Amino acid sequence: MEKQLPSSIEAEIAVLGCILIDPASIVQVLDSLKPEHFYREKHRLVYEAMIRLFNRQEPVEFIL
Label residue 1 by pLDDT band (50, 70, 90): low
Helix H, strand E, coil C: the string for 2-14 is CCCCCCCHHHHHH
Per-residue pLDDT tens digits for 15-42: 999 999 999 999 999 999 999 999 999 9
- How many angstroms separate the CA atoms of 35 and 26, rounded? 13
- How many angstroms separate the CA atoms of 13 and 9, rounded? 6
Confirm if 62 and 20 have CB atoms less than 8 A apart: yes
| Better-predicted residue by pLDDT, 1 or 23 | 23
With the CA atoms of 32, 47, 40 and 34 taken in that order, what torsion angle do they form, in degrees rounded to the nearest 10? -20
